[in-house]
Chain A
Amino acid sequence: MAVMEVRTALNEALREEMQRDPNVFVIGEEVAEYDGAYKVTKGLLADFGPQRVYDTPISESGFTGLSVGAAMLGLRPVVEYMSFNFSMVAFDQIISNALKMSYMTGGMFNIPIVFRGPNGAAAQVSSQHSHCMESIFAHFPGCHVIAPSMPKDYKGLLKSAIRSNDPVIFLENEMLYGFKDEVPEGEFLIPIGKGEIKRAGEHVTIIAHARMLHYALAAASELAKEGIEAEVLDPRTIKPLDMPLIAESIKKTNRAIVVEEGHYFCGVGAQMAYEIQSQLFDWLDAPVLRVAQSENPMPYAKNLEADTLPSIEKIIRAAKEVLYLER
């Protein structure tokens, strides 16, 4: 196994899929000559040429719509948003065209497209660059929503996303681009819709994705010092959600907390908590608890930013609360 950063794992996935299928192309702001704002597309222009890697003007609606049309004609665009917040400028193209095309054409036109880029809060980038988009996109039928945590998951899932014949929202986390971990050598795919237990435990299940998964692992390490064994479950795909894996874990632990970086109201954690209580009511020893971002836009000040986001401490507190150890 090679140890690599998330951005390198993503870059490998792009390269391998571009080599495999000449219809795959990369498009977005600064993806070619600049090598990508976060260097995810580094070297692709040099290796694949301008026919496969397209720098766009700052024109999200335009290049997103263009990519939808290209997908209707059989190409497989990988669309990068420099920040997923910018996808809001292209919202109509993503929702009304990409996600609804297959259905409203009776299956005549499918849209094999990946929308990818950094999602959620970075470090002090304030209100307009910090939104977590998973619950917004997951609300609409017609797309898969993926938000991995580890380099191998980023690679294996991006490859699956590019091979999908349906639209995929692929959410990366800016703070994780430099995170290093082992990635298997050679070709491998991770299926869309399959989660993974990242740490086994028997007392409480912590469900967390993307950057929050790392917080959950840190919280679990702390809890272990007090004799609490938390099971950390990474759904990896937000939609469709791996409920069989969640059920398996909760049948063992009988308690669950759901952590997400995004806002509390209508967050993906709300859906997860609902699915858990409706499917696993008899297995629960306590109500499912949620940890999420508070109901305010992201502040700039460092202390306020820390206050609004979930933290390792907040996860620990929630875990103890669901175990009735702390009120």
Chain B
Amino acid sequence: MGSQSSEKIKKGKGLDSKSDDIAPEKWVEMLERMLLIRRFEEATVKGYQQKKIGGFLHTYIGMEAVGVGSIAHKRPEDSVITTYRCHGLALAVGLSPDAGMAELYGKITGCARGKGGSMHFFSKELNFLGGHGIVGGQFGPGIGAAFAFKYKNTGGVSFIHFGDGATPQGSFHECLNLASLWSLPAIFICEDNQYGMGTANHRALANTDMSQMAISYNVKGYRIDGMDLFTVHHEMAKVVEEVRSTQRPALVHMVTYRYKGHSVSDKEAYRTKDEVQRWMAKDPIQTVSAYLIEKGIRSEAEIKEIDKQIRTRIQASVEFAENSPLPPEEELTMHTFHDTLEA
């Protein structure tokens, strides 16, 4: 099976000890952000099935705790870069669901004017450097952002998210080496969802504990339960702070799972329903909701109301996308270049 042995995975000592350092309202905020991602992605699957969304569609469903717990520590001067499975992180950094949904619908109001699509969400304003379609293609630009922060002395940190399937790529090793060699403030965050498309990571990786790869490049490695928002948030607070203060890169292995297939067209012949169910039992939205109820921070009814409002918000983004105009014809060649050369 693709699941990892969990002995070595960093787990906290229980919800209370992990949540003490954070105001209850912060947990509510993160639950809302996870719900926003979940409901957004559910709407994209629906839009895809209705053939309103084309191309590829890779959803973040099941992996919300990784993105939300990590990005909670992003400051405005920090940047985030990721794979083609980019909707979740884009929403986590604050991209409006309208701009995201309109991009998927191929509309001019989309975050990339309808030219990027599902795999290429971007936001300059939020320092969200994309949505990259080539596995491992984002490592270089990711350490380049860290290089630029150091060059300009901005204090920024570069969050580089990637999948387990990217770790056998040469670019991963080249960039980890460069980041360590030049002491760049970059955090390599492996979203290990157990499979590179349909290949279980034990069939692709000589060592499935990605955190150990840090040793080869003289950086610190961490292995974290990525299904547990409390642990992700708590551990990432320390990692981000350390990278920011020491200007040394770090490698974080988040053990997580995607509930849906690699993309919408995936028949999932490589895994069992039982396996999926086992991971879904650790669902971060359920866990955090239960915790908030148990602690009396929110009632079950209040959480249902939050969810209802988020569903309404996502529905509004679908309507926004549906009602937005297509990119006009003059957009076709526009933006191939930034400059206009003299005639």
Q: What residues make up the interface of A, taking CB atoms closer than 8 Å to B?
A: 25, 51, 56-57, 59, 61-75, 92-93, 96-97, 102-110, 112, 141-142, 144, 164-166, 191-193, 240
- The reply to whether B178 and A165 contact each other, CB–CB distance below 8 Å, is no
* Min distance, Cβ A268 to any Cβ of chain B, angstroms: 18
Q: What residues make up the interface of B, taking CB atoms closer than 8 Å to A?
A: 79, 81, 110-116, 120, 122-124, 129-130, 132-134, 137, 139-149, 151-152, 158, 170-171, 174-175, 177-178, 181, 334-339, 341-342
- The reply to whether A106 and B140 contact each other, CB–CB distance below 8 Å, is no
- The reply to whether A59 and B177 contact each other, CB–CB distance below 8 Å, is yes
- Taking CB atoms, residues of chain A closer than 8 Å to B171 are 61-62, 65, 92-93
List 19 A-B residue pairs with CB atoms under 8 Å apart, sorted by A's residue number: A25-B151, A57-B174, A59-B177, A61-B170, A62-B140, A62-B174, A64-B140, A69-B141, A69-B142, A71-B144, A73-B79, A73-B149, A92-B134, A93-B140, A105-B122, A106-B122, A109-B122, A141-B336, A165-B338
User: 4 closest pairs, A vs B, by CB?
Assistant: A65-B140, A69-B144, A106-B113, A62-B174
- Taking CB atoms, residues of chain A closer than 8 Å to B133 are 96
- Taking CB atoms, residues of chain B closer than 8 Å to A69 are 81, 129, 140-148, 158
- Taking CB atoms, residues of chain A closer than 8 Å to B140 are 61-69, 93, 97
- Taking CB atoms, residues of chain B closer than 8 Å to A62 are 139-140, 143, 171, 174-175, 177-178
Question: A61-B174, A65-B171, A102-B335 are known contacts. Are A73 and B145 too (CB-CB below 8 A)?
Answer: yes
- Taking CB atoms, residues of chain B closer than 8 Å to A25 are 151
Q: How far is the CA of A240 from the CA of B178 in the complex (A)?
A: 35
- The reply to whether B181 and A70 contact each other, CB–CB distance below 8 Å, is no
Q: How many A-B residue pairs lie within 8 Å, measured between CB atoms?
A: 151
- The reply to whether B137 and A65 contact each other, CB–CB distance below 8 Å, is yes
* Min distance, Cβ A102 to any Cβ of chain B, angstroms: 5
- The reply to whether A193 and B129 contact each other, CB–CB distance below 8 Å, is no
* Min distance, Cβ A52 to any Cβ of chain B, angstroms: 9
- The reply to whether A102 and B338 contact each other, CB–CB distance below 8 Å, is yes
- The reply to whether B178 and A142 contact each other, CB–CB distance below 8 Å, is no
* Min distance, Cβ B144 to any Cβ of chain A, angstroms: 2
Which of A107, A142, A192, A193 contacts B113, CB < 8 Å?
A107
Beta-carbon nearest neighbor of B139 in chain A: A65
Which of B124, B149, B178, B334 contacts A109, CB < 8 Å?
B124
Question: A62-B177, A68-B140, A105-B120 are known contacts. Are A192 and B335 too (CB-CB below 8 A)?
Answer: no
* Min distance, Cβ B158 to any Cβ of chain A, angstroms: 8
- The reply to whether B342 and A191 contact each other, CB–CB distance below 8 Å, is yes
- Taking CB atoms, residues of chain B closer than 8 Å to A110 are 338
- The reply to whether A106 and B129 contact each other, CB–CB distance below 8 Å, is no
- The reply to whether B145 and A193 contact each other, CB–CB distance below 8 Å, is no
* Min distance, Cβ A70 to any Cβ of chain B, angstroms: 4
* Min distance, Cβ A88 to any Cβ of chain B, angstroms: 13
